[in-house]
């Protein structure tokens, strides 16, 4: 997020015959037989795996999660934005297969993309978000395509009994601003074996509405005051510091803290020392502007700095300083001395 600030001294930028009937009937009979054969194959395939006597429920479960509204701070880093746990009444899940099968998550392709490996299932309508599922206090479920996982169904009982609490989490990948996004209600995916035996469906009972939150900011004009050339000539560290604040207001509760970065709009003379040149409208020569932190130490440009203060209600007020400095080996000339700096905010 960018905010630009201007001021005159120091600016911070912000229908059918019989033969045909016979043909159609024959075709339909053939099709029906063909479908029966297909169904028979599918049933035989599915019977490779089964719930064993150790499983009281002996049928596919449905893990159901409630949707809600989620606020995500714009430009926030990698973060978990939704978490909900489903508790199964029939605690123990027990499966066996005639031949050993791997199992994992098979996604609903209208919702998520199916990765070739790993445990992250990215939403196809918004690649900045993905979901994961895990047993509580155990590892995350892998994609069904994965060859390396701990969810195998063996020829003997494969018993899963970790209190049968299953946690669904949604994560945001950090680094960029996020538009409004809705995860629709319905099937997210299925816990299944590689030959199609379904253990559980993961379902949202209602949508999850995700929105981006920011604070409001206004342009800031910093009055740098007037100085005599003699003051600049004699001041080795520049003129006295002029304090000002970057004020972020109407910040929602989801934003707990912020980072800030300053970027030169004019030429950066010394990035490490926070020194920027005057703008083209300035008539003064031989001087530049230096931006400093709340303690008066030079503030490095193009780097994010953690705000160490606290939020006051819905407002962050970030204290900074600025001063004029004389450029070495440059002739001083009196005149107007204006410049601009852009600041960027990262919400946490």
Q: What is the pLDDT of residues 182-228, one digit of tens each?
A: 999 999 999 999 989 999 999 999 999 998 888 999 889 999 999 88
Percent of the chain with pLDDT over 90: 55
Q: What is the pLDDT of residue 88?
A: 78
Encode pLDDT of 156-172 as tens digits: 888 887 577 899 999 98
Encode pLDDT of 40-56 as tens digits: 434 444 479 999 999 98
Under CATH, what is the fold of the domain 214-347? Immunoglobulin-like (2.60.40)
Q: Quick check: helix, strand or coil at residue 198? A: strand
The dihedral region occupied by 27, where left means phi > 0, alpha psi between -120 and 50, and beta the remainder, is alpha
Asked whether the predicted pLDDT for residue 7 surpasses 70, the reply is no
One-character DSSP codes across 59-81: S-EEEEE---EEEEETT--SEEE
The confidence band for 118, taking pLDDT boundaries of 50, 70 and 90, is very high
The whole-angstrom separation of Cα 25 and Cα 27 is: 5
The predicted model scores a pTM of: 0.67
Asked whether the predicted pLDDT for residue 274 surpasses 90, the reply is yes
Domain locations in the chain?
Answer: 49-213, 214-347
The contacts of residue 269 (CB under 8 Å, 6+ apart) are 275, 276, 277, 288, 327
Encode pLDDT of 93-110 as tens digits: 999 999 999 999 999 999
Length of the chain: 348
- By CB neighbour count within 10 A (0-12 exposed, 13-18 middle, 19+ buried), where does 339 fall? buried
Asked whether the predicted pLDDT for residue 313 surpasses 50, the reply is yes
Indicate the range of 15-19, 237-241, 281-285 predicted with least confidence. Answer: 15-19
Decide whether 49-213 matches 214-347 in CATH topology. yes
The contacts of residue 35 (CB under 8 Å, 6+ apart) are none
Asked whether the predicted pLDDT for residue 19 surpasses 70, the reply is no
261 phi and psi, to 5 degrees? -140, 140
Asked whether the predicted pLDDT for residue 125 surpasses 80, the reply is yes
Partners of 88 in beta bridges: none
Neighbours of 138 (CB within 10 A): 15
Q: What is the pLDDT of residue 285?
A: 94
User: For domain 49-213, which CATH number applies: 1.20.1250.20, 2.40.30.10, 3.40.50.720, 2.60.40.3310?
Assistant: 2.60.40.3310
- C-alpha 171: how far from chain center: 6
197 in Cβ contact with 118 (< 8 Å): no
Looking at the chain, the number of H-run helices and the number of E-run strands are 2, 27
CA distances from 3 to 51, 190, 220, 291, 321 (A): 60, 45, 10, 17, 18
pLDDT, greater one: 74 or 262: 262
């Amino acid at each position: 997020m960018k905010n630009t600030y201007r001021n005159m001294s120091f600016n911070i930028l912000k229908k059918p015959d019989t033969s045909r009937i016979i043909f159609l009937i024959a075709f339909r009979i053939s099709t029906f037989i063909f479908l029966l054969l297909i169904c028979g194959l599918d049933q035989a395939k599915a019977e490779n795996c089964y719930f064993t006597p150790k499983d009281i429920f002996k049928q596919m479960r449905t893990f159901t999660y409630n949707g809600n509204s989620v606020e995500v701070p714009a430009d926030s880093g990698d973060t978990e934005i939704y978490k909900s746990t489903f508790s199964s009444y029939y605690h123990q899940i027990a499966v066996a297969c005639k031949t050993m099968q791997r199992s994992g998550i098979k996604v609903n392709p209208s919702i998520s993309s199916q990765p070739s490996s790993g445990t992250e299932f990215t939403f196809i309508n918004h690649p900045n978000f993905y979901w994961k599922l895990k047993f509580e206090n155990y590892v995350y479920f892998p994609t069904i395509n994965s060859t390396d996982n701990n969810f195998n169904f063996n020829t003997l009982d494969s018993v899963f009994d970790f209190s049968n609490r299953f946690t669904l989490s949604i994560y945001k990948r950090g680094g960029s601003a996020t538009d409004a996004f809705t995860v629709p209600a319905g099937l997210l995916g299925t816990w299944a074996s590689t030959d199609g035996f379904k253990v559980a469906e993961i379902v949202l009972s209602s949508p999850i509405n995700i929105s981006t939150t920011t604070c409001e900011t206004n342009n800031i004009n910093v009055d740098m005051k007037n100085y005599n050339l003699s003051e600049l000539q004699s001041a080795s560290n520049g003129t006295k510091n002029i304090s000002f604040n970057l004020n972020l207001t109407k910040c929602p509760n989801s934003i707990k803290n912020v980072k800030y970065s300053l970027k030169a709009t004019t030429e950066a003379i010394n990035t490490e020392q926070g020194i920027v040149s005057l703008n083209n409208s300035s008539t003064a020569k031989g001087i530049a502007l230096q931006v400093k932190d709340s303690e008066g130490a030079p503030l490095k440009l193009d780097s994010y700095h953690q705000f160490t203060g606290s939020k006051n209600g819905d407002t962050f007020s970030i204290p900074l300083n600025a001063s004029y400095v004389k450029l070495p080996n440059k002739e001083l000339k009196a005149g107007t001395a204006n410049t601009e700096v852009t600041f960027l905010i990262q919400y946490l």
